[in-house]
Chain A
Amino acid sequence: MLLRHTPKEITERSALSINPAKTCQPVGAMYASLGVHGCLPHSHGSQGCCAYHRSALTRHYKEPISAATSSFTEGASVFGGQANLLQAIENIFTVYEPEVIAVHTTCLSETIGDDLPQMTDKARESGKIPDGKHVIFANTPSYVGSHVTGFSNMVKGMLRVAESTGKKNGKVNIIPGWVEPADMEEIKRLCALIGVAITLFPDTSGVLNGPMSGQYKMFPEGGVTIRELKGTGDAIGTLALGDWCSADAARYLDSQFKVPCRILEMPFGLKATDRFIDALRTIAGVSVPEEIAHERGQLVDLISDMHQYFYHKKVALVGDPDQLIALTEFFTSIDMWPIHIVTGTPGKRFEKKIKKLTEGSPFPVNVRSAGDMFLLHQWIKNEPVDLILGNTYCKYIARDEDIPQVRFGFPILDRVGHQYFPTVGYKGGIRLLEKVLNALLDRKDRDDSEQSFELVL
């Protein structure tokens, strides 16, 4: 067994993370940056960081991921990275010709104290940023928070270009959080059906789920444009989906430009989608379109058709806070009970929120922020579950403990589908439940004895 080194007995650890349920800020910043049209992410640090983040995203999306690096050497680490960044900005605009460079820091450049605002000002003053081109940036120290924090920081960093003309543009800002390109597409589809004009940022649809075209494009068609980002200051409101990924940016627009914001859960599952649709409907002042009501009805239909198979199934969840909060609500609403819930991202308010959501649980619930998969595995050894839902790294636990797994989150390195099929909205809920059901029923078919093996389920 691969994880035979994991003992059942749990001891408190303070100095050590084993089999992480998180990674560092910069990769989140890089993913967010790819949701800006014509943007080249830039990693201000050593070469390795950039290579690792590109590899991680490439493996997850199976798409070419371009990003540049300041290629820190020992000299830069002693004297500061300003010369590297200025040269990088000049080289990037000359050779790769992006519309935007999105600079994020690393633990190295943060610790030596590189001052990004001052450096980007200097780049602008010395004419290294051509007219009409932009450099945005975010501080993403790897030793604070997690990849989720980095994502959130870069989303807020995008708003450096936001302006207020004093005249509202009638649009609603939607900050989708760290969801897949297919989810972003789905959010746009739902908004269009309801008739709400939106600016979605970041928007990786069309960037990381592109077709096979016979062309290599460093900058695919998709992504939110700088013009749209500028307009976010004139929006009539902001909907932030997910407290952890999107709230900071929404609050910034509120405080800076008086754009009122609402913070909702990510629209995974019935209730969270209901709230999202209701918010959109209220803004548009319309009733819910028939098409969306139909989709909702189909999701409820599926749940009612198969509810006997969901009843009191125990689930282990691992991933990022916004997703886990929405998923916990979804599972409890269909009578499945998450009993072990781990995020690697630190923050006690996550634990509070999950405890509240699982108050009515018939089982004791373990929840941990700043946890890791080693702990999750130990919990599962002590109290087994019927299903694990989490990223590809869960497959070690799933195999060792012989538990079905549904892949969800980042990264997924060994399956496809997350690029193409949304899990947000009602239709996304149907897909998610299909995957959950298939996992449970495949297991039932495998485990049932010959006598009790049934054709019809």
Chain B
Amino acid sequence: MTTAILNERRQQVHRTGQGPMDLACNRDSLAGAVSQRACVFCGSRVVLYPIADALHLVHGPIGCAAYTWDIRGALSSGPELHRLSFSTDLQERDVIFGGEKKLTAALNELIDRHQPKAAFVYSTCIVGIIGDDLKAVCRAMSEKKGIPVLPVQSEGFKGNKRSGYLAACQAMFQLIGTGDVTGIPATSVNLFGDFNLAGEIWIIREYLKRMGVAVVANITGDGRVDDIRRCHGAALNLVQCSGATMDLAKMMQESHGVPFIRVSYLGIEDMADSLYRVAEFFKDCDPKIMDRTRELVRDELNKLLPELAMLRRDLEGKKAAIYVGGAFKAFSLIKALRHLGMQVVLVGSQTGTKEDYEELATITDPGTIIVDDSNPLELSAFLKEQAVDIFVGGVKERPIAYKLGMGFCDHNHERKIALEGFIGMAHFAREVHRSVMSPVWLFTSRKITASTRPIIKEAVA
């Protein structure tokens, strides 16, 4: 099978060690490509939707709301308003005569009934075309109801998912600085770019608590409007997930002087390193923090490492491919897979930046394929060429892997178990082991040698 690459896409594929690294990225997808990418609205929606006590109203035809109705599994410890789907369900007459009246009526009704702490109103393609004045409607409603009603300028065609992240950040930024910061301790942080999939943010908050660090706001997993309003009172922002909330961290640094550090809670080194950097930041005001952090890491590793060593016996030398939304996550995944003795032979992302890809080229082994904005045909050809044992990706990649007779691990919206933190690394290792070693592959045409049969049983169910 030849590896099918659109000629125009050759610049978006690189092999580590072969020629200079100069990946063309952050460009629009080609028309006609079976792209795995999404739109601006999608970017905004996934970032904001975990704020559980806000109203999220999609101003557009029904599809935009229907497809984003509770798809991400962002858990809340309290309100569940975010799990309902609200839409103005624009009809032909609204497209002709404008949808502002309908939007006003919808907001009126929803705010009265649900008494949310704030409302986010998402613009969609059609709203951008018919020219509804979202800002004016939101401003008027804000005054009338006495809560922030925030327009999210997320018209689908105005870029890709990254532009949607920015629009979400701009909407949230309007909240920040409007709350009372009294009582916030000196050792305090905000968690940026964690969406509490499978309860992950609770794991991180627990680590920080053990270190003696207070969390002011979750942005946005298990998020609350009032927390976000006062989050400028925190001493530091911890920014995970490269694309989604980096813009907001930069805005906050500029306007409120809150510094940020980039962190990752995936894998052993990145998790430990992130905690150490937080401790480092606060060591002057809390001299004991470093000791507590070391103790925490030691405790967690003592629990984790024996299990990893055991799983590694089966996984040593197996090949993995990674295709993720933002490239930053790929760095952590590569390291995590190496801990399992696995070799990463393909790394791709929908929206990586030039810097991301340069970094990937540095840390991957020679021959590793690096790809931007790929498509199923290309991915499946690379997966076969590299004889991959497990594919780490999202919803649209899963059935491709299975058809090819490969294991799969969802590291995106549809993960059902927490993959962050030290315990998350154990979960990840178990999930990879479970899929790579599944007996189902013995029934398939892919060649399985006796040595790939699992030699160990999972210690923990």
Residues in B with CB closer than 8 Å to A14 are: 105
B367–chain A nearest beta-carbon distance, Å: 22
Given the contacts A24-B61, A215-B404, A46 and B157 also touching, CB distance less than 8 Å? yes
Given the contacts A47-B160, A77-B128, A216-B403, A15 and B34 also touching, CB distance less than 8 Å? no
- Are A46 and B376 touching (Cβ within 8 A)? no
- Are B87 and A20 touching (Cβ within 8 A)? yes
- Are A214 and B89 touching (Cβ within 8 A)? no
- Are B66 and A48 touching (Cβ within 8 A)? no
Q: How many residues of A contact B (CB 8 A)?
A: 85
Complex CA gap A17/B63 in Å reads: 11
Closest to A83 in B: B31
A400–chain B nearest beta-carbon distance, Å: 11
- Are A47 and B37 touching (Cβ within 8 A)? yes
Complex CA gap A77/B158 in Å reads: 9
Residues in B with CB closer than 8 Å to A106 are: 125
Q: Which of A15, A26, A59 contacts B102 (CB 8 A)?
A: A15
Residues in A with CB closer than 8 Å to B33 are: 68-69, 71, 91
Q: How many residues of B contact A (CB 8 A)?
A: 80
Residues in A with CB closer than 8 Å to B60 are: 107
- Are A55 and B88 touching (Cβ within 8 A)? no
Closest to A61 in B: B399
Complex CA gap A64/B404 in Å reads: 11
Complex CA gap A214/B352 in Å reads: 30
> CB of A321 within 8 A of chain B?
no
- Are A73 and B157 touching (Cβ within 8 A)? yes
- Are B31 and A91 touching (Cβ within 8 A)? yes
Residues in B with CB closer than 8 Å to A90 are: 32
Closest to B102 in A: A15
B120–chain A nearest beta-carbon distance, Å: 15
Residues in B with CB closer than 8 Å to A77 are: 125, 128-129, 157
> CB of B417 within 8 A of chain A?
no
Residues in B with CB closer than 8 Å to A91 are: 6, 8, 30-33
- Are A142 and B61 touching (Cβ within 8 A)? yes
- Are A13 and B156 touching (Cβ within 8 A)? no
- Are B80 and A24 touching (Cβ within 8 A)? no
Given the contacts A18-B84, A77-B129, A55 and B395 also touching, CB distance less than 8 Å? yes
Stretch at the interface among B91-99, B171-179, B262-270, B327-335: B91-99
Q: Which of B38, B95, B446 contacts A143 (CB 8 A)?
A: B95
Q: Which of A19, A94, A141, A142 contacts B69 (CB 8 A)?
A: A19
Name A169-221 residues within 8 Å CB distance of B. 210, 212-218
Q: Which of A18, A142, A217 contacts B86 (CB 8 A)?
A: A18
Name B84-116 residues within 8 Å CB distance of A. 84-92, 94-95, 101-106, 109-110, 113-114
> CB of B400 within 8 A of chain A?
yes
Given the contacts A58-B396, A95-B6, A143-B91, A111 and B35 also touching, CB distance less than 8 Å? no
Closest to B440 in A: A212
- Are A88 and B125 touching (Cβ within 8 A)? no
> CB of B452 within 8 A of chain A?
no
Which of A66, A71, A143, A210 is the most central at the interface, judged by chain B CB atoms within 10 Å of its CB? A143
Which of B376, B403, B405 is the most central at the interface, judged by chain A CB atoms within 10 Å of its CB? B403
Tell me the total A-B contact number using a CB cutoff of 8 A.
252
Residues in B with CB closer than 8 Å to A3 are: 80, 84
- Are B128 and A4 touching (Cβ within 8 A)? no
- Are A46 and B61 touching (Cβ within 8 A)? no
- Are A214 and B31 touching (Cβ within 8 A)? no
Q: Mark B28-47, 1 if CB is under 8 A from A, else 0.
A: 11111111111111100000
> CB of A306 within 8 A of chain B?
no
Residues in A with CB closer than 8 Å to B186 are: none
Name A91-145 residues within 8 Å CB distance of B. 91-92, 94-96, 106-108, 111-112, 141-144
B38–chain A nearest beta-carbon distance, Å: 4
- Are B157 and A66 touching (Cβ within 8 A)? no
- Are B110 and A16 touching (Cβ within 8 A)? yes
Q: Which of B36, B83, B102, B113 contacts A7 (CB 8 A)?
A: B113
- Are B113 and A17 touching (Cβ within 8 A)? no
Residues in A with CB closer than 8 Å to B296 are: none
Complex CA gap A67/B396 in Å reads: 11
Residues in A with CB closer than 8 Å to B446 are: 214
> CB of B380 within 8 A of chain A?
yes
- Are B395 and A144 touching (Cβ within 8 A)? no
Q: Mark A80-94, 1 if CB is under 8 A from B, else 0.
A: 000111011111101
> CB of B65 within 8 A of chain A?
yes
> CB of A378 within 8 A of chain B?
no
Name A19-67 residues within 8 Å CB distance of B. 19-20, 22-27, 40, 42, 45-56, 58-59, 62-67
Residues in B with CB closer than 8 Å to A25 are: 63
Q: Mark B390-426, 1 if CB is under 8 A from A, else 0.
A: 0000011011101111000000000000000000000
- Are B125 and A214 touching (Cβ within 8 A)? no
Q: Mark B434-451, 1 if CB is under 8 A from A, else 0.
A: 000000000011100000
Given the contacts A15-B105, A16-B105, A64-B403, A85 and B31 also touching, CB distance less than 8 Å? yes
Given the contacts A18-B86, A46-B125, A52-B42, A216 and B376 also touching, CB distance less than 8 Å? yes
Residues in B with CB closer than 8 Å to A215 are: 403-404
- Are A52 and B87 touching (Cβ within 8 A)? no
> CB of B310 within 8 A of chain A?
no
Given the contacts A108-B156, A218-B376, A49 and B129 also touching, CB distance less than 8 Å? no
Complex CA gap A69/B29 in Å reads: 9
Residues in B with CB closer than 8 Å to A303 are: none
Complex CA gap A141/B304 in Å reads: 53
> CB of B455 within 8 A of chain A?
no
Complex CA gap A40/B399 in Å reads: 17
Closest to B37 in A: A47
Closest to A107 in B: B126
Complex CA gap A49/B110 in Å reads: 26
Complex CA gap A448/B56 in Å reads: 42
Residues in B with CB closer than 8 Å to A223 are: none
Residues in B with CB closer than 8 Å to A328 are: none
> CB of B181 within 8 A of chain A?
no
Complex CA gap A15/B112 in Å reads: 14
Complex CA gap A4/B78 in Å reads: 12
- Are A52 and B63 touching (Cβ within 8 A)? yes
- Are A27 and B62 touching (Cβ within 8 A)? no
Residues in B with CB closer than 8 Å to A59 are: 395
Closest to B124 in A: A107
- Are B63 and A142 touching (Cβ within 8 A)? yes
Q: Which of A16, A73, A141 contacts B28 (CB 8 A)?
A: A73
Complex CA gap A70/B125 in Å reads: 14
Residues in B with CB closer than 8 Å to A73 are: 28, 157-159
- Are A89 and B129 touching (Cβ within 8 A)? no
Given the contacts A48-B156, A143-B61, A16 and B106 also touching, CB distance less than 8 Å? yes
Name A315-374 residues within 8 Å CB distance of B. 344, 374
A9–chain B nearest beta-carbon distance, Å: 10
B446–chain A nearest beta-carbon distance, Å: 5
> CB of A288 within 8 A of chain B?
no
Closest to B413 in A: A55
A229–chain B nearest beta-carbon distance, Å: 23
User: Apart from A20-B69, A87-B30, what are 20 other A-B pairs with CB-CB below 8 Å?
Assistant: A4-B80, A11-B109, A15-B109, A16-B88, A16-B105, A48-B64, A48-B156, A51-B42, A51-B396, A56-B67, A65-B396, A71-B33, A87-B32, A94-B6, A95-B4, A107-B63, A107-B90, A107-B124, A210-B403, A214-B403
The 9 closest A-B CB pairs, nearest first, are A48-B39, A24-B63, A88-B32, A91-B32, A15-B105, A214-B445, A17-B89, A52-B67, A46-B156
25 contacts between A and B (CB under 8 A): A2-B80, A15-B105, A20-B62, A23-B63, A46-B125, A47-B39, A48-B64, A52-B64, A58-B395, A59-B395, A65-B396, A65-B399, A70-B31, A70-B32, A71-B31, A76-B157, A83-B31, A85-B31, A95-B32, A108-B126, A142-B61, A143-B91, A212-B402, A212-B403, A214-B405
Q: Could you list which residues of chain B lie within 8 angstroms of chain A, going by C-beta atoms?
A: 4, 6, 8, 28-42, 60-69, 71, 80-81, 83-92, 94-95, 101-106, 109-110, 113-114, 124-126, 128-130, 156-160, 376-377, 380, 384, 395-396, 398-400, 402-405, 444-446
